[in-house]
Amino acid sequence: MKVIICGAGQVGWQIARHLSGEKNDVTVVDYDADLVRRATDTLDVQGIHGHASYPDVLLRAGAQDADMVIAATYSDEVNMVTCQVAHSIFDVPRKIARLRAQSYLDAIYSDIYRRDHLPIDVVISPEREVAEAALRRLSAPAAFDTELFMGGQAQLLGILIEESCPVVNTPLRQLTDLFSTLRARVVGVRRDGRLFAPEAGDQIFVGDACYFMAHIEDVPRTLEIFGKTAKKQERVVVLGGGNVGLRVAQSLEQRTDRIRARVIERNRQVAERAADSLERTIVLHGDGLDAGLMAEAGVDRADAILAVTDDDKTNLLAAVRAKQAGASLAICLVNDPSLIPILDALDVDAYINPRATTVSSILRHIRHGRVKGVYSIGDAEAEIIEAQVLSTSPIAGQRIQDIDFPEGALVAAVQSGGKVIAPNGSTRIEEGDVVAIFALSSDVREVERLLQVSIDFF
């Protein structure tokens, strides 16, 4: 597949890393020559320096025979014009654009993206993706990472194994015997900085970060088995009233279980806009690092503080202060991946990486086969790929133990006949089933091959 990625920032670079690692023909375009140089020096990609929306620049990038254009520059308007040029002049089959401005995302204006108007096949909103990730974190306070699959019937949870875990040092095979009715499976373990797909004989140790996939009904029981307790969220403080914070607060207002939320925003205009858009939520104007204002917001009694300003350091410091004041849970928006290793030392419970959420969203629309969802784990170290099994797939009709999966991949869950099960070696994958597969990044291409539809299917 030949792909042109416009924008060599964090998101563009990460997408290029994924696709080039899977032996796709990737060209990166950016007006910043240093970013282009970084991409070509570190990845197996071609680089073009110039404005992504200029026809001559896209021509030099090979748009005349490209399969896809991903417009992920910092400008919404450049991304939109890039897709228009790619369509009108070069007839590129698939165009994806990252758009931030809420006005462009309003459903009442969605007709603008029709092929006879502004031909964008997929619109990705980083703020929307981050807000949804924040709400998922709030719904699973015992986990540092979480995502829903299979129409909300299965949930991925990342938890830290502590000394209170009753099944520590127990082989995974034995866990299956002890809890035979539990619809859950450990799919990934991070130990000493290395992420791997565990085998049946592997044990769980204190300090491990474990990822498991569970039926949504079995999540509370699974957390209990691993020494975690789920606490109901009733009071939430949101630091940052911009697009992300506002969307989170609006979603909390719409929930049936009443959650008392307060928003702190430093910019007066942004605070006023948030106050006008919210019905029951109190919006406080001022510095989120001010101890008096945090006390007024009730941080000491908060079940969670969600720090989602556009400044990483503000988010981290506010989270630390909130935890010291008595907040039960601290969740931070962290753009700089180099800050993530210090979160444990700062007693920050969970973080949201906007780059990872946006990358996951874009990958969902790139994968081959009947892919329904993709979720990027860690620093793009692994993926959970959710896909429907078609008759031409190499795994259709086979038992899992007979499928030649790569070492870094395993089946996390299977949805058959509308029911989600925790698979074992004897589980047979049938046509029409939906499978969720954990795969290390180096094995994603091989997993795609196992899911891919043969050409005669069409």
**DSSP result, 175-239:** HHHHTTT--EEEEEEEETTEEEPPPTT-B--TT-EEEEEEEGGGHHHHHHHTT-------EEEEE
Q: Enumerate domains of the chain plus CATH numbers.
A: 2-124 (3.40.50.720), 235-357 (3.40.50.720), 358-457 (3.30.70.1450)
Length of the chain: 458
pLDDT at residue 367, rounded to an integer: 61
Do 302 and 296 touch, CB atoms closer than 8 A? no
Residues in the chain where the model's pLDDT stays below 50? 453-458
Which candidate, 174, 175, 176, 172, places its Cα nearest to that of 189?
172
pLDDT at residue 457, rounded to an integer: 34
Q: Whole-prediction pTM value? A: 0.73
pLDDT at residue 228, rounded to an integer: 87
* Contacts by 345-351, CB closer than 8 A, 24 or more apart: 346/316, 346/319, 346/320, 347/320, 347/323, 348/316, 348/319, 348/320, 348/323, 349/141, 349/144, 350/137, 350/143, 350/144, 350/145, 351/144
Do 363 and 346 touch, CB atoms closer than 8 A? no
pLDDT at residue 352, rounded to an integer: 87
pLDDT at residue 456, rounded to an integer: 37
Do 405 and 430 touch, CB atoms closer than 8 A? no
Local structure of residue 452 (DSSP, 8 states): P
pLDDT at residue 20, rounded to an integer: 85
